[in-house]
Amino acid sequence: MSYIPQILFIIISAAAIWFFSKKIMTIRRNILLGKDADFSDRRGERWKNVLLLAFGQKKMFRNPLVAVLHFFVYAGFVIINIEVLEILIDGIFGTHRIFSRYGGVIYPYLINAFEFLAVTVLLGCLIFLIRRNIVKVKRLASPDLNGWPRSDANYILITEIVLMSLFLTMNAADTILQQRGYGHYGENSTGNFFFSSLLHPLLNGLSDNALVGVERFCWWLHILGIFAFLNYLPFSKHLHILLAFPNAYYTRLQPMGKMNNMTSIQNEVLYAMQPELVPTDGGTNATPPDKFGAKEATDLSWRNLLDAYSCTECGRCSAACPATITGKKLSPRKIMMDTRDRIEDMGKNIDMNGEYKEDGKTLLHDYISIEELRACTTCNSCVQECPVSISPLEIILELRRSLIMEESNAPQEWNAMFSNVENNFAPWKFSPDDRDKWVQEMS
């Protein structure tokens, strides 16, 4: 009978890890539905981005107070869960605070550090809840977050508060039982921990059995909460906790204003302006693409789809977007959310049918509208503001390229400019000779 808790723990742990792994592999499959792209260059710079952008959260420190709070919540939650390793070992082998036997004087310092981080996580989450639901910061109260996205953020913050509270209460009950020398609790005395000892007055009046019940309840609920949180992550915007690192590594290293030009089209314009550069063999050294731009999520690169899954929906991109600020329909945050929704729907289609079957929808038109795309000024503010350098602009440009080059769908003003560029090699309605006349008039 004494092995039943261990067996139960092993079954629950295995099931939680299996379900999490299965969902992560599905997300990986969905991301790789995008077009292939090579991001293996400049590895030193990429690892630097991982350290500064993903873990160090460099961009967030433009607002130091919020950055510090977010850093403690993010880093604190990740570091505290190192303790999960001890819980896993204890759960499997039926031990209690196994690391305290080998950690010596270091162990209490380590747990005290974890408790400090737990308190900062708890306070940070409370402040973020207040900012979202009472203060209602504008970018966090935007209509594009209505429904599940807003609820998702609140659920995660509340969950983190509960998990940190369970951690502190578990330590408080444990150390009181150590002081009383009760059972195996008294065998490995760690001494009191600073923050959890503040809860002692609330628990001192309980009997030994009641304290054991509190400690075991918090222990089990804490680890079950971790497993639940782990399996909730792939369905939540908080998947960025994991994907921020690969996303920062694979981010574009080119200057933000540099567009990904299509070589075949670029050569066509070049040869029209400078015929002497046309290859003598009649070739253009570039194979025209099967399609121009992206109409569907799978027409985007896999890194664009990784961007979509990595988006934390913080809204800093939309708060900086001149189109959003002036009341246009465009919201860079919504572009990323819509892209993620579309590739998720396509993944579910594959899961249901064994392969993708046309559902009559496309990312362009059904998820992202023409009005949104035309509102973009390509100013790169969204890319500049994103904490992990996600690029909504790349997706917008690819969709707009498809809209114009595949569907010939552009405002009359744009068509006039395109015609002038094609015929006069400039946006203006003057031939090259006419444009030079002002020089003669000046002489």
Distance CA 218, CA 443 (A): 88
The token duo for 20 is 């999490």
pTM above 0.85, yes or no: no
Nearest to 319, CA basis, from 309, 304, 334, 308: 334
Q: Which residue has the tokens 């890319």?
A: 383
77: Cβ contacts below 8 Å, ≥ 6 apart:
117, 121, 160, 241
Residue count of the chain, please give it: 443
* CATH topology for the 263-434 domain: Fumarate Reductase Iron-sulfur Protein; Chain B, domain 2 (1.10.1060)
pLDDT of residue 18: 95
Please report, for the chain, the start and end positions of each structural domain, with discontinuous segments joined by +: 4-31+63-249, 263-434
Each residue's pLDDT tens digit in the chain (443 positions)? 567 888 999 999 999 999 999 999 999 999 999 999 888 888 999 999 898 888 777 787 777 777 777 777 777 767 776 778 888 888 888 888 888 887 778 888 888 988 998 898 898 889 889 988 888 888 877 887 887 788 888 888 899 899 999 999 999 999 999 998 888 887 777 888 999 999 999 999 999 999 999 999 999 999 999 899 889 989 888 888 889 899 999 998 888 778 888 777 778 777 777 777 777 765 555 566 678 889 999 999 999 999 999 998 888 899 999 999 999 999 999 999 999 999 999 999 999 999 999 999 999 999 999 999 999 999 999 999 888 889 999 999 999 999 998 898 988 888 888 888 878 878 888 777 777 777 777 76
* DSSP letter string, 40-107: -S-HHHHHHHIIIIIIS-GGGGGSHHHHHHHHHHHHHHHHHTTHHHHHHHHHHHT-SSTTHHHHTTHH
pLDDT of residue 287: 64
pLDDT of residue 12: 92
Element (H, E) at 306: helix 302-310
Would you call 263 helix, strand, or coil by DSSP?
Answer: helix
Q: From its phi and psi, is residue 147 left (phi > 0), alpha (psi between -120 and 50) or beta?
A: left
Distance CA 29, CA 32 (A): 5
Amino acid sitting at position 402: S
Would you call 346 helix, strand, or coil by DSSP?
Answer: helix
pLDDT of residue 283: 55
DSSP structure class, residue 237 = G
How many Cβ atoms from other residues are within 10 Å of residue 68's Cβ?
A: 15
Q: Cα-atom radius of gyration of the chain, to the nearest Å?
A: 28
- Phi, then psi, of 207 in degrees rounded to 5: -70, 170
pLDDT of residue 286: 56
